[in-house]
Structure 1
Amino acid sequence: MTEIHTPRLLLRHWQEDDLVPMADINADPVVMRWTGDGSVLDLEQTAQAIERWEEEWDEEGFGLFAVELLASGELAGFAGLSVPEYLPEALPCVEISWRLGRQFWGQGYASEAAQAVLEFALVDRGLDRVLAIDRLGNEASQNVVNKLGMVFERETSDPEFGHALTVHSIDLTEYQA
């Protein structure tokens, strides 16, 4: 089982007792405003999402990690890798993403987790390139993308919801520079 330790975080596979705290995160409209159409997810939808995330680990050899704070054992959210099926024009590719509960914002956790995931993707999993796909205007996410050293590729739109998206990328050469 793949686990990643950072100075303050444990990135790990999902456990049964992660469901309720992740459902609480997904039920927050402020957290979810940049995701899809901005709809919140309930407990059952979160359970289905976690099941899909775990299946991606089996199918792809990567997925979304549960992000746990080492100091308290709290679930802060997720960070990891997925195939962005929602944006066919970008395929084939792998996307890095993260979602943390609002109480964990502004403390550097997203950047710390994303940096660990990026190293996992490019070094451990040997991926050639990783994308970050964000809604235009999501400045907090954009700050993380910038800290990762990702390079702007293009703007596009979400084929389902019509939102403007930005696509950034990084490859191993850029990552090591």
Structure 2
Amino acid sequence: MIEIVTPRLKLRQWKEEDKEPFFKLNSDLRVMEFLPKSLSKEESNNFIERIKLGFKEDGYSFWAAELIENQAFIGLIGLSIPKFQSFFTPCVEIGWRLAYDYWGKGYATEGAKASLDYGFKELNLSEIVSFTFFKNLRSRRVMERIGMRFLDEFEHLSLPEGHCLRTHVLYKINLSSM
């Protein structure tokens, strides 16, 4: 199984012991501020199973992210194929979700850069997208730091009309801009 190592992070396959800290992360309202809802333990565990299925079906997905210095699980970072329909799908997205205590330390940027490198060099992708709620400035800054450019604003059709999080922004990076 593929692992990616950066100076401070290991992006690796998921372990049973990741379930509890991942649930804690997914139930933290600060972390989930720009997502439709926090996740129950069952929903969080099901998310891990969908990630594992992505690795089986596509050969990649969101890796569990851990700190090299102490093996602490800090969240997820990686690549995935969105399951919803939009004007830009099918596509490969890059994403991250880190526990609050690990925000502001550059881990999302570090892991995302390594994921982009893997996507372009190992998977031979020509472009990768990312998207978030338009007010999620922290994630937008990560997208910009890794070289992605704003492409468009769109309505996330998986959310009901009138939902406060429905307006999203789309960012993209091409292999040629790396």
- CA separation in 2, counterparts of 1:17 and 1:98? 19
- CA separation in 2, counterparts of 1:8 and 1:58? 27
Task: Give the aligned partner of residue 142 of structure 1.
Answer: 140
Task: Give the aligned partner of residue 160 of structure 1.
Answer: 158
Q: Classify the secondary structure of the residue corresponding to 2:31.
A: helix
- Aligned sequence identity (%): 34
- CA separation in 1, counterparts of 2:122 and 2:106? 23
- CA separation in 2, counterparts of 1:129 and 1:61? 17
Q: Where in structure 1 are there 5+ consecutive unaligned residues?
A: none
TM-score, normalization by structure 1: 0.95
The RMSD of aligned alpha carbons is 1.0
1:57 aligns with 2:55: yes
- CA separation in 2, counterparts of 1:139 and 1:87? 24
- Flag as ranges the 4+ runs of structure 1 deviating above 3 A: none
Query: 1:83-113 CA deviation, whole Å, 9 max, x = no partner?
Result: 1123432211000000000000000001001
Task: Give the aligned partner of residue 99 of structure 1.
Answer: 97
Task: Give the aligned partner of residue 171 of structure 1.
Answer: 174
Q: Classify the secondary structure of the residue corresponding to 1:115.
A: helix
The aligned runs of 1:41-120 (5 Å cut-off) are 41-120=39-118
Q: Classify the secondary structure of the residue corresponding to 1:30.
A: coil
1:40 aligns with 2:43: no
- Superposed displacement of residue 82, structure 1: 1.0
Report the structure, 1 or 2, having the larger helix content: 1
Q: Where in structure 2 are there 5+ consecutive unaligned residues?
A: none
- Superposed displacement of residue 171, structure 1: 1.1
Q: Classify the secondary structure of the residue corresponding to 2:87.
A: helix
Number of aligned residue pairs: give it. Answer: 173
